[in-house]
Every structure is written in C-alpha cells, then in structure tokens.
C-alpha cells in the first residue's frame, strides 16, 4: 500500500526545537493536525504541505516522501 511519510518531527528539532503550536501557526493549521501528521494519521492537502515546507524554508520533497 502506498504511503506518504514526513520528516516534520525531525525538521522541528532541526529548527531549534520548534513547537507544534508554532509550526501550526506558521502553516495556518491547528496543533492537532500537526500531531496527526507526525503520527502518520493524516495526509495533508497540497496547499497545507507547501505551507509546512514553507514554514521550514525547505522544499516539499524534504518534508514529504511518497513511498510506493
């Protein structure tokens, strides 16, 4: 089964241990959505994925990886 992995938790750590709340504010979503993303229980829309990547200042592929 195809799966979309993400590096959000690691990227938060790399960015001075950015809090989930801070990332949520930057990406324009709720903290609960960040929690669900980190647990692999939610696949974001393209728009939110770009916003999260933008919050870290990295490309989309550095945050999300498609695993066939």
Partner 1 sequence: MAPLQKRALYSLLIGLVLVAALIVVFVIKGDVTAFSDDGNLRYLTYGVLIGVPLIYLILVNLTLRKPTQIDERDRRIMDKAPRLQLVAIYISLAVWVIALTELYRETGQIPRIFVTLILFSTLIISSLAQSLGILIGYWRANRNG
Print the binding letters for residues 45-64 with partner 1: x by CB under 8 A, - otherwise.
Answer: x-xx----------------
- Mark the segment that binds partner 1 (CB under 8 A) among 9-17, 36-44, 55-63: 36-44
Three-state SS letters, the chain: CCEEEECHHHHHHHCCCCCHHHHHHHHCCCHHHHHHHHCCCCCCCHHHHHHHHHHHCCCHHHHEEEEC
Print the binding letters for residues 11-30 with partner 1: x by CB under 8 A, - otherwise.
Answer: --------------x--xxx
Minimum CB–partner distance for residue 10 and partner 1 (Å): 20
């Amino acid at each position: 089964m195809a799966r979309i992995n993400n590096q959000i938790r690691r990227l938060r750590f790399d960015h001075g241990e950015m809090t989930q709340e801070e990332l949520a504010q930057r990406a324009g979503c709720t903290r609960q959505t960040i929690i669900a993303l980190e647990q692999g229980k939610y696949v974001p829309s393209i728009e939110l994925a770009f916003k999260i990547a933008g919050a870290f200042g990295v490309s989309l592929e550095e945050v999300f990886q498609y695993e066939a």
